[in-house]
């Protein structure tokens, strides 16, 4: 789902998770199960979103940044608010 570089916006306090081992540890701690309803707030560049949706099958995300929300809408398994 990569679509070019996104410059973090200070007004949103954006910081993007990129460390694969941390992402894996978070997903393992959440232990999402297929079909489970889950909402991710501030998915950003989808570093955590993608592994979550792979386990859940579908995911609702809430994103304030319109540019990022538009990118996320191209992902068929996401409901973007």
| Domain spans of the chain, in order of start | 33-81
Higher pLDDT pick, 46 / 12:
46
C-alpha distances out from residue 4 to 9, 26, 55, Å? 16, 25, 26
25, 26, 7, 3: which is closest to 16 by C-alpha? 7
pLDDT of residue 13: 56
17, 63, 54, 47: which is closest to 32 by C-alpha? 54
pLDDT for 16-69, tens place per residue?
667 889 889 999 999 999 999 999 999 988 889 999 999 999 999 999 989 889
Global pTM reads: 0.77
């Amino acid at each position: 789902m990569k679509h070019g570089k996104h410059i973090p916006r200070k007004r949103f306090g954006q910081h993007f998770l990129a460390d694969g081992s941390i992402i894996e540890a978070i997903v393992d701690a959440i232990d999402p199960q297929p079909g489970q309803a889950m909402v991710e707030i501030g998915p950003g560049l989808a570093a955590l979103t993608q592994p979550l949706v792979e386990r859940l099958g579908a995911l609702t995300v809430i994103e304030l940044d319109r540019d990022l929300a538009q990118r996320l809408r191209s992902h068929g398994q996401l409901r973007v608010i």
